[in-house]
Structure 1
Amino acid sequence: MRKVIVIVSLVLFVTGCWEYRNTPSNHQIIRICNNSDMDIYFRQGNCEGEIFDNYNISATPQVYKIYAHECKNEYSPSFEVDMEYWCKELKLSYVFFDAKILETIPFDTVFKYNMMLGSKIFTKEQLDSLDWTITYP
């Protein structure tokens, strides 16, 4: 029993020290800024800059909502791996939604009619030049 407690304590200590960070070859943080006068939601899009799936992001505003003139960090173990996994070319896209629409219309309707404010598609080189900060609009 004592060994189990030591092992569990060690695992909790090691995982508790984990911190997301960016290195030149592995980016784990993207900063997304909302420079508009309205609240928005964001989500990673597909390779063509369209809505990826019909997951209702308004159900978790603490993750996907950005208030007017604020910024939020999005985290991933590796955005470079995300690029390689989802798209043939190394690119990453984000789609943006009006918060008022997402909070009043069922998301399956938003998804069906592609009711987004817009999208942005970035290559790794573009993200490097932007210091991994995406700004809406």
Structure 2
Amino acid sequence: MSTDRIGPDALRFLAAGGLNTALTSAVYFAGLTVLSSGVSYTIAWLAGLAFVMAFYPDRVFPGGRTGFADRLAVGGSVVAVFVAGLATLHLLERALQSRTAAFFATLAITTTLNFLVSRWILRRHAPP
């Protein structure tokens, strides 16, 4: 995996993350007008997952792998990091005795993990 693209990849990843957050927030709040918060959150989260699988291979990590299996692998990794993030959040809430600190620490950890794993999946053996 080439390290010469880390900076641009990271910037595109953060920009796409902001766009994804805006999209999922809009879906969530629109859903709240007619759905429960749990159903609305689930639909928003699934929309965000679809966004990652569709958008990241071509736009965030251009020139990398873009096949269907690669997109599924990125989606699966996001799900795995989400589950790991839930566990991390609960552990840090107990350790730090602060929900706010635990949230921001978990956010930093999961964002970093999502970037590294997605980048590895989409950049492995990619053409230069």
Of Structure 1 and Structure 2, which has the larger fraction of its residues in helix? 2
Shorter-chain TM-score above 0.5: no
Structure label with greater radius of gyration? 1
State the TM-score, normalized to the length of structure 2.
Answer: 0.28
Of Structure 1 and Structure 2, which has the larger fraction of its residues in strand? 1
